[in-house]
Amino acid sequence: MCFLNGKNTMKIVTVRIGNKYGPEYETYLEKKLPDYEFIWVRKPIKDNIHLQWNKMYGMNLNIDEPICVMDIDILLINDYKKIFEYPIKRGEFVAKPGWWRDTAKEKYKINGGFFKYYPKDVKYIYDKFMNNPNHWQSHYIKNKTTKGPINGEQYFVEDSVRERLNLKLLPCAWFTRWVIDGTPGTMNRTDWKTKISSKYKKVSGNNYVYLGGQFHPDIKMVHFTHAMNKPHLWKDYEQHI
């Protein structure tokens, strides 16, 4: 790992393209992780590369150190730096688990919200994608693994990682999905909380996700997955930053 003036200079690649998320998301992450070097991808790699698929940018970096790639619709809480400091060796690919997904998708284990890898180990994934990006950006929608209009990058990454690398999942107890009131596509929020707490207990052994206004102390990253489900709009956001 490289250090500069005593600081950890591991790079973190994040994508903020378009107007869906404002600059406050960049400010939040940079304040939470001041000892890391952020690479903000604000424009597509190429004109035909859409939104989150631009996270492939990190796989083309010509560096010998591991990097992290993450989504920005998150909260970092408790001892969250353990995620970024998780050990990795050449030939390994570290990923966040997507334990809250529907059982129909159990073939896939990762969530695209956080990766850690050596860029030179995954250059073949970048090349595979860039050789036919239009195909891959629609592939997992056409085969009904996910829904459009833009989606599927995490499934592409997982399938490709399994071709050559050792996939390591971070502990399920460290992560949760969360929703704000009125998020489209979710059931009554009380019922939703009961359901996700039950799933969390099954995968982690912990009895709750959120209790008494606090997330479980094992949770380090809270992911607000959905276009209209933004952490900065959550009424309890301020108490968790």
| pLDDT tens for the 241 residues of the chain, in order | 443 334 558 999 999 998 888 999 999 999 999 999 999 999 999 999 999 999 999 999 999 999 999 999 999 999 999 999 999 999 999 999 999 987 555 789 999 999 999 999 999 999 999 999 999 999 999 999 999 999 999 999 999 999 999 999 999 999 999 987 655 555 566 788 899 999 999 999 999 999 998 999 999 999 987 656 666 656 565 566 6
Q: How far is it, in rounded angstroms, from Cα 35 to Cα 12?
A: 11
Of 98, 136, 100, the C-alpha closest to 114 is: 98
Among left, alpha and beta (phi > 0; psi -120 to 50; other), residue 87 is beta
pLDDT score recorded for residue 193? 87
Q: How far is it, in rounded angstroms, from Cα 100 to Cα 84?
A: 21
Q: How far is it, in rounded angstroms, from Cα 150 to Cα 52?
A: 8
φ/ψ of 45, rounded to 5, equals -55, -45
The set of residues, in sequence order, having a beta carbon less than 8 Å from that of 73 and lying 6+ positions away, is 21, 25, 223, 224, 225, 229, 230, 231
The CB density around residue 12, as the number of other CB atoms within 10 Å, is 20
Beta strands in 52-91 (DSSP E): 67-70, 74-76
Q: How far is it, in rounded angstroms, from Cα 228 to Cα 89?
A: 37
pLDDT score recorded for residue 192? 86
pLDDT score recorded for residue 233? 59
- pTM for this predicted structure: 0.91
In total, the chain counts a number of residues equal to 241
* DSSP single-letter state for residue 236: T
pLDDT score recorded for residue 1? 41
Could you give the strand order of the β-sheet that contains 221-223, starting from the edge strand earlier in sequence? 74-76, 221-223, 175-177
* DSSP single-letter state for residue 199: H
